Structure 1
Amino acid sequence: MGTKKASELLMKWNLAPDLKLVRFKPSKRVNAANGKDMMAALLSSPEVCGALQTPIVPSQEQAAEIPVEALACTVLNMNFFDVLQEDNEVVTDNGSVRACMDEIFEGITVQDKLRELLINPDESENAGVFKEADKKELIYHLLKVVCVGGAMCQAEEHFGEWKDMTKAMYKDLVNVSKKAGGGGIEIKSHAFLVDKWGESEVFKTKSIHNRFYVVADADYVNVLYKPFVNFW
């Protein structure tokens, strides 16, 4: 996806200018699989917090108390999203997103079945479209970031733009390499969801729509940070 097109969509979905996608190269090799230790170092770093424009956590000890949940990075193609078109319940065969009655959930107005499914799964009739294991995948969380957007998100009528942006973000965040012996490809990255409920001091205000992800390999740490800003 071109930079200009991506910028226009981020504005349309009210993700700009608050969304931050930043890559860091640590001064020493990181243990990408150890989410707690890595997050403690990141969140107490003035350089990292300055780049993300987040409040600095005073110490590594306090940073280590912020909840971190490991996510899977196993998806290698966009067939992952085909379930949305099964029985035409959420997305139709031509890619149109089905509309629904207006609903306001924690400051966001929802008018389609896809965003309803992602924002309010407890009450959505399509809550079972994605399996529980699918919801632990990083790419599912990225879909949620772009579809939910901000408080003033202008939702898409077709799934294509959301799918393309999710794919572009995923490719930017994960490290894909060939398996030893030429047996296909694999993802070398480890992904983490930080502060699932959006209530810690890494966000200026509390909101279930706050998003913070860390995707790391042996050499780089990628961060996606999106605080939710209420319209009112």
Structure 2
Amino acid sequence: MAEGHVKPSAKFTFRFLPLKVCRWLESKDVKELFAKWSMYGRMAVQAFSFDQYFQAYQKDDFVLAFFKDPNVISNLKLLSYSPVKWMTLGTDVKKVEAKHVPCKQISMSFFDRLYSEEIVKESGHIVKCLDVFYNDFCISDDLRKLLLLEEYDKYDIFSQADREEFLFCLFKHLCLGGALCQFEDMIGPYLETTRSLYKELVSVQKDSETQVIRTISTVFKVSAYDENGMCYPSTQNHEQTFAYLIVDPLKRHVHVLYHCF
């Protein structure tokens, strides 16, 4: 994971886009699912614009400039722990960590192996198992075993490279949910919600010569530190507390996907 102690580049400046909201997150069906998964009111999608040309190799400059920008400091939302309430970053970030997250997948057929490997039945029902506890998670079906337990005999149906893909990361986050998550019996809601969120956040383009559709977004999983330690996405580490920056280099937009467990 690369660390950015470097002085932020003066050329990256950001503007908050309060009117560019993720309307999909506000739909009734999605609200109900996120409430069931204990993620509603704990997730945010925000948009910012930037005026300069971006290339992926500028990752550390870009992310540090983002967290040091006054428009980000005063508008970037996060949840405080005690009391639990939404606040803005509002602190002088000294250091950032930005991990590049591959974002090449353009088809939900990526998950077809859940059926062929009988994690999910043809009917869409997720195969159940005896309860196993792993960290903060109760594993009561083969899907969660696949997501969490490396010793599970079907763990390798998704390679390490597969698991690093942004599409897989979103799917895993939605399946694991929040602290009081009520799990689904059917795979459908997880796949449909993953597809919709991915489509909302990731930009694609058709190559004019080959006619092949490809993603053009660059994704970083980020954390930021002030003089007291980690300050974003939270002061406490958890697999389900995360923040991603999804950068569209053509529109020069950054979407921030945030969740606090």
TM-score by length of 1: 0.85
Matched, 1:73 2:103: yes
C-alpha distance in 1, partners of 2:35/2:72? 24
Structure 1 or 2, whichever has the larger Rg, is: 2
Matched with 2:20 is: none
Q: For 1:34-89, what per-residue CA distance to the aligned partner results, in whole angstroms no more than 9, with x for missing partners?
A: 32222212223454353322544523xx233x2x221221111110001111231x
Query: Which secondary structure state, in structure 1, belongs to the residue aligned with residue 129 of structure 2?
Result: strand
Matched with 1:85 is: 115
% same residue: 28
Pairs within 5 Å for 1:89-108: 90-108=119-137
What value does the CA root-mean-square deviation take over the aligned residues?
Answer: 2.1
C-alpha distance in 1, partners of 2:166/2:91? 25
C-alpha distance in 2, partners of 1:99/1:3? 30
Q: Is the 8 A contact 1:21 1:224 kept in 2?
A: yes
Matched, 1:58 2:92: yes
Q: For 1:130-182, what per-residue CA distance to the aligned partner results, in whole angstroms no more than 9, with x for missing partners?
A: 11221121100000111010011110101000000000010011111221236
Query: Which secondary structure state, in structure 2, belongs to the residue aligned with residue 200 of structure 1?
Result: strand
Q: Is the 8 A contact 1:97 1:114 kept in 2?
A: yes
1:44 to 68, 71, 74: 68
Matched with 1:29 is: 52
Aligned in 2, Cα 1:63/1:150: closer, same or farther, shift over 3 Å?
Answer: same
1:94 aligned partner, one-letter code: S
Pairs within 5 Å for 1:46-195: 46-49=70-73, 50-53=75-78, 55-59=89-93, 62-64=94-96, 66=97, 68-88=98-118, 90-118=119-147, 120-181=148-209, 183-195=211-223
Count of residues paired in the alignment: 218
Aligned in 2, Cα 1:57/1:32: closer, same or farther, shift over 3 Å?
Answer: farther
Aligned in 2, Cα 1:104/1:47: closer, same or farther, shift over 3 Å?
Answer: farther
Query: Which secondary structure state, in structure 2, belongs to the residue aligned with residue 165 of structure 1?
Result: helix
Higher strand share: 2
Aligned in 2, Cα 1:200/1:208: closer, same or farther, shift over 3 Å?
Answer: farther
1:189 aligned partner, one-letter code: S
Matched, 1:227 2:260: yes
1:23 aligned partner, one-letter code: A
TM-fit CA distance, 1:9: 0.5
C-alpha distance in 2, partners of 1:95/1:47? 45
Aligned in 2, Cα 1:200/1:100: closer, same or farther, shift over 3 Å?
Answer: farther
2:122 aligned partner, one-letter code: D
Aligned in 2, Cα 1:56/1:161: closer, same or farther, shift over 3 Å?
Answer: same
C-alpha distance in 2, partners of 1:131/1:57? 38
Unaligned runs of 5+ in 1: none
Matched, 1:17 2:41: yes
Unaligned runs of 5+ in 2: 1-23, 79-87, 224-228
